[in-house]
Amino acid sequence: MRYISALQRSHSTFASTRGGVVCIDVSEAMARTGGRGASGWDMRQIMSWIDEQLAARGIRDPRVLDAMRRVPRHAFVPDDSQALAYTDRALPIGNGQTISQPYMVAAMTQALMLAGTEHALEIGTGSGYQAAILCELTRLVITIERRPELAELARRTLAALGYTNVQVIVGDGTMGYAAAAPFDAILVAAGAPRIPESLKQQLSGGGGRLVIPIGTAEQQQLTLVVRDGDRFKESVLGGCVFVPLVGSEGWYE
């Protein structure tokens, strides 16, 4: 069972998973900023977290930093990890999956160079935290999760926090989502053995950007792909470690 709570249990949504019923309490997050914001935590702590862990390590995009301040990470973290919600580390969310390290979330988002008008695709919804960051920074987000129970929980959490510019899809993320292509930005939150051809072809031809971890199942290189017509320019941004991207154009389960 996963249980996500704010400080006071007055507004909850429920989802059924293989582990039972999950309670998601976001009352304080909703009350503080009309559905968004880092509630239930000392704002000085949050600002210090942003300055010390993100800005000091090279996150310079003010829109990304502002989004990281607004999205309440603790709303996406299981109850037994609440004390670690604002530490710079990945945390388990069940089903062998994790909520990504905040620095990596910010770095991948910054690499997409978002202006606010983008049609974005995320592969690997997980808890929904990265999707929430993208919702703050783009026009529309489609996020794909292959595990129905995680997709449902993320869908309910995002809705409870007031996000209306996101669609959560259950499916094979390595195939992308051709029905809504092309995408100005694609973010893959899992490690792949190679860049899925389907994702490359679903990038917008006029500068569409894809950020994806590429490498072995144990360690990857964060890679940025920029499309210009039929040409694709790849650049390596640095090392990283993600759970495997499972699917027809990724790793076998």
Q: Which residue numbers are catalytic?
A: 100
**Tokens linked to 206:** 């006029």
Q: What are the structure tokens assigned to 143, written together?
A: 């996020």
On whether the CB atoms of residues 138 and 114 are closer than 8 A, the answer is: yes
For residue 245, the one-letter residue type is L
Distance CA 188, CA 81 (A): 24
Q: Is residue 29 a contact partner of residue 35, using CB atoms and an 8 Å limit?
A: yes
Beta strand 140-145 with 166-170 is parallel
